[in-house]
Amino acid sequence: MKSIVKYYAASGKAPLANLGVIFSIGIFMMVLLGFLYSTIITIIPILYFNVIILWGFSYIISLISYYLNVAFKIRNKVVSMIITMVLALFATYFQWVFYVYIISSYKITPLNDLSYLVELLDIRVLTNIIIELNNVGAWEIGAVTYSGTSLWLIWLGELILTLLISFKSFNRFELKPFSEKDNQWFNKDKIRTDFEFIHLKKTFLEGFHQHPVEALMALKKGSGTRQSNVYLYSSKSQDTFLISIVNSSATNKGAKENYEVLAPCFLKRHHFIELKDTFKIT
């Protein structure tokens, strides 16, 4: 008899009140991050160093977005990605505000002339100043000062990289399954055993869905560079259980690439208990 497998599907919920709090906190954090980024690139105007700082700047945006999405229980991946992109745009905007403010220190007294900083928050004022900077040139490589179209392309490239790195970094973060009943993310545990890399996915899953423990015990140990890992999820009320399996292999550069063997699917309680009794869990 063929087993009926029920896979987990996110509810897609993104409460409006939670979104409001996320943007309030997130925008405030983008102000701080924009100030930090603009300060560093102004103090250390070295091209290659700035590229590294840009990557870090973008990664931190994605990290902040991830923790906000988890803390305020956003169960919609598309909405989470949009939040990340919006925060990246705000971070870029505030970075420009503080950059202009800092390089204007020759004609103002920082901290004393905060009214000028407030003035820069007007996007029309900021845009006019950016256009002026572009006309006179505000970017140098060696003895070459870039302005006009070439400088617009450099700035556009920075914006695209910020959005792209933020997007890709966030996409690598895992949003665990969510229990609507408990209004909490599932607890996630990992079976400590590294199993062999699963080549025949369909054949393995046919046996696994009938007898999970037996199917896993039939697997050999992983090689260290190619293996499969099993993850168990349990709700706070301990009445709902999930399991997922991932193949992983090391690349020539030492990084790990993951391939989904089994997406999170529901697991019967007695199978969950049997797995925890048979294998060591972390």
Q: Where are the domains of the chain?
A: 16-172, 178-278
Pairing mode, strands 144-146 and 184-185: unpaired
Q: Do residues 93 and 33 touch, judged by C-beta distance below 8 A?
A: no
Dihedral over alpha carbons 67, 186, 215, 223 (to 10 degrees): 20
User: How high is the pLDDT of residue 44?
Assistant: 83
pLDDT exceeds cutoff 70 at 177? yes
Give residue-wise pLDDT tens across range 132-146: 988 887 766 666 777
pLDDT digits 0-9 by tens, 115-126: 788 888 999 999
Query: Position of tokens 């369909």?
Result: 202
**What per-residue string of b and e applies to 7-17 under the rule 16 or more CB within 10 Å gives b?**
ebeeeeebeee
**Percent of the chain's residues with pLDDT above 70:** 93
The identity of residue 231, as a single letter, is: Y
Helix axes 16-43, 77-103, angle to 10 degrees: 40
pLDDT in tens, 153-171: 989 999 999 999 999 999 9
pLDDT at 208 > cutoff 60: yes
Average pLDDT, the chain: 89
- pLDDT 10s digits, 219-243: 999 888 899 999 999 999 988 999 9
**pLDDT at residue 2 in the model:** 46
pTM metric for this prediction: 0.86
Evaluate if residue 1 carries a pLDDT over 50.
no
Sign of CA dihedral 27, 28, 30, 31: positive
Q: What is the pLDDT of residues 12-70, one digit of tens each?
A: 999 999 999 999 999 999 999 999 999 998 888 777 788 899 999 999 999 999 999 99
